[in-house]
Structure 1
Amino acid sequence: MLVAAAVCPAPPLLVPQVAAGAAEELAAARTACSDALAVLAASRPDLLVVIGSSPEGGAYDQGTRGSFAGFGVDLTVRLGPEPEERSGHATGTELPPSLAVGAWLLEQARWAAAPIAGVAVAEGLEPDACALLGADLAASGARVAMLVLGEGSACRTLKAPGYLDARAEGFDAGIGRALAAADTEALAALDPVLARELQAAGRAPWQVLAAAAAGRGLSGRLLYEDAPYGVGYFVAAWS
């Protein structure tokens, strides 16, 4: 049963070593992520599921490593401490970038509140399949918390990765309202075609969260909302 969730963006630039001279530009986002993780720890979970998007889906055990070498930085992270034994359910041996950012956030928070499992959601996973996955994950423990990683549109400005799209601002505004209100129905109703056209990497992970939280009556708080580099970044806490 889901008892709490934290929603954070997952750009590698969130990691100061990757951002280098631009590290201060996302300082407020990092602080908000830390506050959201504190909400997860306070919920006393017996399992933390870290969810992010990737080209292909996969499962990752606690202790799986990720690297930022592909971004020009000699930095390795680990998804929590090395467990005494692996679950045997993992399909991946190295964290994709979104989960590597999640692992970095947990390292900064010195997470020790509960065991960890990592789940990469395929970027193109259909909403119905996201709903099934979310329900399964919520049922994987008596007190499940989720760290959900992803961004909104990448089309907010002329210099954004996806260039400027007039639909992007309204799309992101809807995301912000849904996350602030813990509105699972609004997240579940996100159009995957529009999300893909706007390069919104958070769509599938958010729809997994929506299914996991459906009917739980959680309250939401939006801790950060901005569009640095023309990409919609959100940090929220549900409990």
Structure 2
Amino acid sequence: MLVAAAVCPCPPLLVPEVAAGAAHELDAARAACDDALAVLAAARPERLVLVGPAERPGRGPFPAGTPGSLRGFGVDVEVTLGAAPAQAEKAAPGSGPEEAARELPPSLTVGAWLLERTAWQAAPVEGLGVGEPLDPERCAAAGRELSAGGERLALLVLGDGSACRSAKAPGAFDGRAAAFDEAVARALGAADTAALAALDADLAAELHAAGRSCWQVLAGAAAGSGLAGRLLYDEAPYGVGYFVAAWS
């Protein structure tokens, strides 16, 4: 059962080494992420799953101990997804070089960095990379599957809003972007699973919102849970909507 969730943005710029001289511009976002992770820890989960948008081949499950890096963004930052299981050094049956070489996608790498930043030790960690084009109902089904067991589950949901809030935004300006992000912020702040589930996948894609699928996984996992939400951050410093929320 889902006992808590944190929603955080996942731009590599959240990592100070990537942002370099502009790192201070996201100080408030980092602080809000720290606060959201504290809510997760306080819920005493038995399992934490990071859910983040991913391109192929970064989709699907990732076990604890999976490495990730931001070398592709010009910095020598490496992370590990939680603590590797005690038997991680022994190859699992059927595993091979291809599996061993698999690394976290950028979104989960940023999520793992957030966990390391806060010295997460509250529960074992796993990851799930979700394709942004995934149909909303399949997202909801994936969320229901995550929360179906009796264990105390927490989710760290990574994803960004529209990338069209200004003329210099990555997706250029789109007049629909502000209203879309406002709807997302309201839903996240109110833990409104129905509103998240109703987000228009086509509109999200047109606005380059790299969080829609993961928010809808959260909606599926949290449906009927009775969790309350709190919006901790809602800004678009680079023309991209960034949100931080905590549900408990």
TM-score range, shorter chain: over 0.9
Match of 1:172 among 169, 181, 192: 181
Which residue number in structure 2 is paired with residue 70 of structure 1? 72
TM-score normalised to the size of structure 1? 0.97
Shift of 1:140: 4.2
Matched, 1:213 2:222: yes
* Contact 1:47/1:141, CA 8 A, preserved across alignment: no
Matched, 1:113 2:122: yes
What is the identity, as a one-letter code, of the residue corresponding to 2:83? P
- After superposition, residues 140-179 of structure 1 pair within 5 angstroms as 140-179=149-188
Stretch moving more, 107-116 or 76-85: 76-85
Q: Deviations over 1:173-193 (max 9, x none)?
A: 000000010000000000100
Shift of 1:141: 4.9
Return 5+ residue gaps in structure 2 as ranges. Answer: none
What is the identity, as a one-letter code, of the residue corresponding to 2:164? C
Could you tell me how far apart the structure 2 residues matched to 1:140 and 1:14 are? 33
What is the identity, as a one-letter code, of the residue corresponding to 1:20? A
Question: SS state of the match for residue 152, structure 1?
Answer: coil
What is the identity, as a one-letter code, of the residue corresponding to 2:201? P
- After superposition, residues 217-236 of structure 1 pair within 5 angstroms as 217-236=226-245
Shift of 1:42: 0.3
Q: Deviations over 1:146-173 (max 9, x none)?
A: 0000000000000000000000000000
Shift of 1:85: 2.9
* Contact 2:204/2:212, CA 8 A, preserved across alignment: yes
Question: SS state of the match for residue 21, structure 2?
Answer: helix
What is the identity, as a one-letter code, of the residue corresponding to 1:231? V
Question: SS state of the match for residue 238, structure 2?
Answer: helix
Bigger radius of gyration among the two: 2
- After superposition, residues 186-197 of structure 1 pair within 5 angstroms as 186-197=195-206
Which residue number in structure 1 is paired with residue 83 of structure 2? 81
Return 5+ residue gaps in structure 1 as ranges. Answer: none
What is the identity, as a one-letter code, of the residue corresponding to 2:40? L
Could you tell me how far apart the structure 2 residues matched to 1:49 and 1:141 are? 15
Could you tell me how far apart the structure 2 residues matched to 1:122 and 1:197 are? 15
Stretch moving more, 49-58 or 169-178: 49-58
C-alpha RMSD of matched pairs (Å): 1.6
* Contact 2:161/2:211, CA 8 A, preserved across alignment: yes
Could you tell me how far apart the structure 2 residues matched to 1:199 and 1:229 are? 14
Could you tell me how far apart the structure 2 residues matched to 1:61 and 1:191 are? 31
What is the identity, as a one-letter code, of the residue corresponding to 2:65? G
TM-score normalised to the size of structure 2? 0.93
* Contact 2:83/2:125, CA 8 A, preserved across alignment: no
Q: Deviations over 1:197-234 (max 9, x none)?
A: 00000000000000000001110000000001100000
Shift of 1:93: 2.1
Could you tell me how far apart the structure 2 residues matched to 1:53 and 1:113 are? 24
Q: Deviations over 1:107-157 (max 9, x none)?
A: 001000000110000111000110110001112451000000000000000
Matched, 1:100 2:109: yes
Question: SS state of the match for residue 229, structure 1?
Answer: coil
Could you tell me how far apart the structure 2 residues matched to 1:141 and 1:25 are? 41
What is the identity, as a one-letter code, of the residue corresponding to 1:168? A
Percent identity between the two aligned chains: 64
Q: Deviations over 1:32-77 (max 9, x none)?
A: 0000000000000000000000123211011111010000001111
Which residue number in structure 2 is paired with residue 125 of structure 1? 134
Which residue number in structure 1 is paired with residue 33 of structure 2? 33
Could you tell me how far apart the structure 1 residues matched to 2:2 and 2:46 are? 10
Could you tell me how far apart the structure 2 residues matched to 1:93 and 1:116 are? 17
What is the identity, as a one-letter code, of the residue corresponding to 1:176? A
